[in-house]
Amino acid sequence: MNLNILRRAIADKRITILVYAAGLAAYAVMILAIWPSLRTHVDTLNQLWQSYPASIRKAFGGENFAFATFDGFLSVEYLKQMWVIVMIAFMVSIATGAIAGEIEKGTMELLLSQPISRRAILVTRHFFLSLSTLLIIGASLAPIAAGAPIVGGDLRNLGLLLLIVPAFLFYMAIGSVSFFFSTIFNSRGRAIFTSLGLIIFWYALDILAKINDTISHVHFLSLFYYWDPYRYLHDLNFAWGDAAVLVGVILVSTAAAVIWFERRDVAV
């Protein structure tokens, strides 16, 4: 770990982090603001939800999912949709810029001309990714914790606290895989393309496995399988197995990134 690189990364990306954090916080406030008008139509919403085909209900919620509750509404409208999209965009952007972006711009040659190991560069950039992920998760969930009682949302703070850990692990797993691609390619575009391709595959697999029993046995291959915010918010149930898988993905991807980056040619 190198403090000089960490300080520079924070200085360079502070505006980006601020924009993502403020944008997600504003979206969370908007979602909160919608809830009071929706909750007066709970029965209608429940009827609407039940009127969807079972496969659709499974794909976007689950058998025991209750849309017309605050945590159900939050899960569908925020935590499994917009939040995931924006967070993935952030993770892929930061992770691919960390190594492939520098190689593409040629600045990696300047960095590697200094007395610092490749491992230290990589570990520091990965730590920065973790730090900024935590900050944005905090900024995204804080308005919900503060605003839920004001808008009459029935939310247990323990659930929200529980959610931070799997959210961090889920996004870091995606970020770490992107990070690995960042060490493989000389072009940031290729790293982004490959990362997004894999994420879209995981998302499609998640949806298809929920609605099609013939492929449900490979559902676990999708990272989205391990992201179920409703489970934490509503059931207050921490999934240790899911967390272990996500930790495994982070460790394996990061180790692979270190091994690859330490052996590869830079500036070819």
Residues in contact with another protein by the rule CB under 8 A: 2, 4, 7-8, 12, 105-107, 109-110, 112-118, 120, 263, 265-268
Shortest Cβ 12–another protein spacing (Å): 7
In the complex with another protein, which residue's Cβ is closer, 110 or 161?
110
In the complex with another protein, which residue's Cβ is closer, 118 or 234?
118
Query: What DSSP string runs through 216-230?
Result: GGGGGGSGGGG--HH
Please name the amino acid found at residue 140: S
Closest by CA position to 139, among listed 17, 4, 5, 265: 17
Shortest Cβ 100–another protein spacing (Å): 14
Contact assessment for residue 215 and residue 135, using Cβ atoms and an 8 Å cutoff:
no
In the complex with another protein, which residue's Cβ is closer, 120 or 142?
120
The angle at the Cα of 182, spanning 177 to 187, to the nearest 5 degrees, equals: 140
110: tokens are 């300047």
Count of CB atoms situated within 10 Å of the CB of 144: 23
Closest by CA position to 54, among listed 43, 65, 41: 65
In the complex with another protein, which residue's Cβ is closer, 219 or 264?
264
Shortest Cβ 106–another protein spacing (Å): 3
Shortest Cβ 192–another protein spacing (Å): 20
Shortest Cβ 5–another protein spacing (Å): 9
Contact assessment for residue 209 and residue 124, using Cβ atoms and an 8 Å cutoff:
no
Shortest Cβ 268–another protein spacing (Å): 6
In the complex with another protein, which residue's Cβ is closer, 154 or 262?
262
In the complex with another protein, which residue's Cβ is closer, 55 or 114?
114
Count of CB atoms situated within 10 Å of the CB of 234: 22
236: left (phi over 0), alpha (psi -120 to 50) or beta: left
